[in-house]
Structure 1
Amino acid sequence: MSQSENEQKRNFWTSFGLSFRTRLVIGLGVLLILALVWMANSVDMPAFGFVLIPFMAMTYLLPTLIAVSRKHTSLGPIFALNLFLGWSLLGWVAALVWALTRPKPDEPVIVETPQASTADELAKLAELRDKGILTADEFEARKKSLLS
């Protein structure tokens, strides 16, 4: 089995064939369900906890949710910053600003090819004629089109 096949197989089993965004949304959903189950089983949890905790979780993860909705190219690092440093106001604001930035579009690469001079073109045509690739009539026709 080749190395790329092994990598594809490993990537499938580690990601279950799902994209990062899909796994992130599923993971956040599971965490939310676990929080709701914990609150439902808690004796001393007030009833407004069913609204307060999901609201707080959504507010805490707001930069990540914005990055997901905008399909930001740096979603993974934004999520990591939000998750690990979001507890500090500075980390949360940094993740929010990063999520709201517009990623730079891929700029096309412009390759300029130097224009061959007429003399170079005539030399190439003469070489093709000498090798027998072009007939004398084809050579004269192309030479005439180059010089006109």
Structure 2
Amino acid sequence: MSITALLMLSPIFILLFPLPALLAYKKKHPYKEKIALTNVLGFWLFGIGWIVALAWCFIGAKGKGREDKTVSVAAEIERMYKLKKKGILTDEEFEAHKRSLLGDA
């Protein structure tokens, strides 16, 4: 690759370089610091680390969201169960609400 081509592509590299780290911080990814480190150190290994960091910032964030949703559904079912035990909800109301939360409706 010629010097001219490198000079023409360098602004693109400079703009794209921080992209994985910025996306991870914006999405509040649980491993945002590790993604940023992989981004910086991996960029010098022929860009392999940059590609890994870019993929990681999308994959890990989705997995974390699913875990939080599962916990909130479980907490909601537990809350409904306590209301049923106190007599505030009937068995039918509890079961209907549980089915709607679990997607069995």
Give the structure with the higher percent helix.
2
